[in-house]
Structures are given as C-alpha cells and as structure tokens.
Amino acid sequence: MGYSLKNHPDTSIENTADRWISYVAAAQMPDGYLDTYYELGDISKRWTELEKHEDYNAGHLMEAAVAYYEATGKKQLLDVAIRLANHIDTTMRINNRQWFSGHEEIEIGLMKLYNTTGNENYLKLANWYINQRGKHIYQYGTTWFTPQYWQDVEPVKDQTQITGHAVRAMYLYSGTADVAVASGDTGYMHAMKNVWQDVVHRNMYLTGGIGSSGDNEGFSKDFDLPNKDAYCETCASVGMVLWNERMAALTGDVKYMDVLERSLYNGALDGLSLSGDLFFYGNPLASNGDDERSKWFGTACCPANISRLIAGIGGYIYGANNNSFWINLFVGSNTSVKINNTNVDVNMQTNYPWNGKVSININLEKSTAFPVYVRIPGWTQNDIVDGSLYFVKNGTKQTLQFFVNGKTIDFKQQNGYAIINNTWKKGDVISFEYEMPVLEVSSKKEVLYDNDRIAFQRGPIVYCVEGADNNNEAWNIVLKQNEPVQTINYKVLNEDVVALQTKAVNIQPSADGSALQSTEKTITAIPYYTWCNRGKNEMQVWLPTKMKEIKVNY
C-alpha cells in the first residue's frame, strides 16, 4: 500500500491503511514487542523458536513503515517499527545472546529504518544478525533444517556457494548488501560476488527463477534445473530483483541489472495472472496441464511479495547521484532528480519490451553538464547470463548508436553502460533503438534437462509454447533446423504482446490410433509470463530439436 500510494495517491487505500495501522499499533506491547502469535498464546515463549518468524515479520513491518512514511509522511507505523526495533536490539545485541533468524528479512527492514532514522543501532543490529550465521547456534534433529537450509554453513563473509531455501538466501544477501553500502565492508561484497556467480552460472533458470527443488523450497545441486518439476518460487524471483538491484547499485556493473530484468519480466511476473488476482507459488518451465494459479492462499508470501514488487517498480528504473544519471530499465515513466544541484525532470517514452525504441526527454532549470549512463542490455551483445550457462546460437552483437535531438552522439562503454557526456539543456531528447531479433538460446550441456533443446528469447522476454495457442497441445512438437521465426502482434486475453511463429514438426496419432504421424505445422510462442491465463494446459519453454525427445509422457 505504501509503495502504491507513492505512485498513485488514493484516499480510499490510505484510509484503509490508517485504520489497519491503528490496529497494529494497538497490538504492540509496552516493551515494544509485537507478534500476535505469542501475544495471544504463551508470551513467556517469545524468542525461543527461530521458525516462528518473529524477526522475519518484524522486518516486513519495518519496510512497510518506511514505505508508508515516505508515501504519506505519516509516522504512526514508523513509530511502531522503531519501538519494535529498539525492543529487538536490546533483546538480542547483548553478550553471548544465542539466537539467529530462521528466515532472513529483518536485515532489510532494519537497514530501511536506519536509512530513514539515521539511528546507528539499527545498522549494528542488522550486522549482528548477519554475523550470527555460520555459528550453528541451532541444530534441529531432522534432515530438513540443515545448516545449508538457513545459509548457516559458514560465516557470510566466507560463503562462496548458494545453499538452501532460496527466498531466505535472497533476503540475506539483500540485507547484507545494504549493510555493505552503509558500512563500506568489502568482505561482504567479496563473498556476495562469489555467491552471485554460483547462482547465475550454475543454478538459475533462463527465466531468472531460482530454487529448483520443492523439497527445501531451494537449491539442490549445481545444474539441477528440471523444467516440469521446477519449484522456482515467485518470492525467490522477487528476491533476485531485490538483491540484484543492490548489487548493481554497489558495483555499477550492468550484469546485475541484466539478471534483475530477466527475473522481473519472466520468473517474477509469471507469479501473477494477467487479471492481477491469481498467483503461482512455483513457476515451472514446462507443464502437463496440471498447473494453475490460485486465489489468495494461506502461506501468502508470494501474493504480497509480487504486489510489493510491482508497486515498487518505479524504484528500479533510474539511478542518480549528485554527478550522474543512470537509465537502468526501459519503462514509460517520469522522475525528478537533483544533479549538480540542478533539478532535472526526466520523461521516458517507450513500448519496451515489445520493441527497443526509447526516447528520453530531459528538462532542467538551467543547462548543466553531467554524464548519462544508458544500460546496454546483455542480450544486445548476445550475452544471456554473464557469458555463462545460456548461449545465443543465432545472433550477432549489435552495433549501438545513440542520438541527442536526432543527431548521433559519441559515447564510451563501461561496465555495460553507454556513457553519454553532454551539457544538457531544457528539452533535450536522448533516443536510441535496440534491435530485438528473436534469439535462439541453448544451455550449457551440464543442464541435462535442456540438452538438444532451444528456448526463444526476444529482448528480455523468454517465450513458451502453450496449448491454448496450439490446438491444446504443446508437448507434441519438435523444432526444425534453420527454420525462420516470425514476430507477430498478438493478444493473450487483453494483453498486447509480440508473439513468435515458426514451422515445426507436429506429432499426432494417425486416424485409427495405430501409429504416429509427423506433419509440419506453424506453432505460436507467447511470452512466458502470460501463460496459464486461458485455463490449464500444456506448456514448455525449452523446445526439443530431436525426435528422440518424443517418448512416453510422464
């Protein structure tokens, strides 16, 4: 609600939020504690069971409080969050306190609160939580709750591999990145760069989804990326966006933005129906027609999480400091920033991701010189994921051109950004157009599930073949070699998209059912995030290129 009000002020939503906030405030105990599970149950047992998520909930409350304060200027929820944070700080950050958080998130919340209030205790407490890992404070007597599950194998600064529950891991590293920024601690950064490589080079789906295993809602072993049985929790893709935004801000390296965009437009967005009220918990890359989005459900992390992401999307488009301006995502939008102590209004117009044409109007109080960093998406250079795991088979690196007021302008490339140095004056227009060929993507051979298969990508959008567009079948096709792929304007329900079409071999039982027939047929592929909006049916992202894939269907 806070993030949404920032984009779209709405009295009705604000009134509802105020009413709910008053309930939340009334539930807070005099000492600042707030968690109704124990308040309505046995309060003597608070802070004894790490899987009750007391600090996880507290972290979300802190983030909500800051978002609501920033949107409305109202402090009631912020004050609740501050009292709660103070309570936790005095409870935890004492000598020999044996505790760690089962499900990370409080680190993120505390850093939001620190950045808003400037109270250094919150930074210290966030850092304390991070440092509790790797000490094996809790050991459960089961195979489920392993040190891996909780990112508790080693201290965070020594970590090199992604392990365990995917959402917990993403929240940990997002909070750690926040602490790294505030504290300037390079140890965290070093560790996170290693872990990030472990994620994207060995454990990430083409959709930017992570956490392939439903057993632990998380990571299994390197390259174990099944398509039909992909878990790929929506929240984990949201977590990828959160973490990569911070890594991008910390490093200025475009590869983090590339992964962010991939997770955003594919793995995360797929969690939400086109109608906006149905949710996938898991996001498989192939379906036999058993999968379907649900209405609001019990463990409602994903619905709330994807809503938070979509409402907060405005925060990911631009970057700025007092000297420079960054364009990271290409989304029609307005923003105002202050550069060189000059107010700069920016308006971006684009139909991205359906084409790569972008136009940016710059308005300033007075002419001033500063560099504009325009992201050059990896896919324009045939680079799918940091030069690893996934490869483009048919592409060429694009030659780039940027224009100011219709005339080409010099730029230099650095960390994947085009840096346009210019003295900007009122009404200047930056424009450029990235080509959007259809890319045929293949996987590293270690990803056994994708061997002899191809996936289509265009711009940041990953495609799938769904039964709804293909006579209710998607598992009976084999791609032909060197067959051109066309783009067409298409509708999935009321969603205008660019779809793909190509001729493929279609396998069908003969009329008498005694044999199989192979015929040529035009198939239609749609953006992955739009699938399963027209009923349950077959779908696949990775399309077979060899007849041998056609076998008994399990």
Sites of contact with its own copies (CB under 8 A): 49, 51-52, 141-145, 214-215, 226-229, 286, 288, 299, 473, 475-477, 480, 505, 507, 509-510, 513-516, 518, 540, 544, 546-554
Question: Minimum Å distance from CB 503 to its own copies?
Answer: 12
Rg (CA), the chain: 24
How far apart (Å, rounded) are the C-alpha atoms in residues 331 and 342? 24
CB of residue 134 to its own copies, shortest distance in Å:
22
Name the residue nearer to its own copies (CB basis): 295 or 548.
548
Euclidean distance between CA atoms 521 and 477, whole angstroms: 9
**Least distance to its own copies from the beta carbon of 234, Å?**
17
Q: Which residue's CB is nearer to its own copies, number 94 or number 552? A: 552
The tokens for 207 are 């959709």
Question: Residue 181 or 550: which CB sits closer to its own copies?
Answer: 550
- Round to whole Å and give the CA distance between 114 and 117: 5
Separation CA 67–CA 13 (nearest Å): 14
d(CA 456, CA 390): 12
Nearest to 502 by CA among 519, 479, 518: 479
Structure tokens at 538: 């077959």
Q: Is the dihedral of CA 451, 457, 461, 466 positive or negative?
A: negative
Minimum CB–partner distance for residue 538 and its own copies (Å): 8
- Token pair belonging to 19: 């009413």
Nearest Cα neighbor of 34 from 19, 49, 24 is: 24
Task: Output the six-digit token pair for 12.
Answer: 């009705």
Running DSSP on this structure, what letter comes out for residue 297?
A: -
Q: Which residues contact 256 (CB under 8 A, 6 or more apart)?
A: 196, 244, 245, 247, 248
Question: Tokens standing for 287?
Answer: 């379906």
Residue 408, class by beta-carbon neighbours within 10 Å (0-12 exposed, 13-18 middle, 19+ buried)?
exposed
Alpha-carbon gap, residue 412 to 43, rounded angstroms? 61
Tell me how far apart the alpha carbons of residues 136 and 272 are, in angstroms, rounded to a whole number: 37
Q: How far apart are the first and last CA of the chain?
A: 43
User: DSSP letters along 367-426, please?
Assistant: -EEEEEEEE--GGGGTBSSTTSSEEESS--PPPP--EETTEE---EEETTEEEEEEEE-T
Q: Which CB, 418 or 504, lies closer to its own copies?
A: 504
Q: At closest approach, how far in Å is the CB of 12 from its own copies?
A: 36
With contact defined as beta carbons under 8 Å apart, do 175 and 209 qualify?
no
C-beta closer to its own copies: residue 52 or 262: 52
The residue among 282 and 353 lying less far from its own copies, judged by its C-beta, is 282
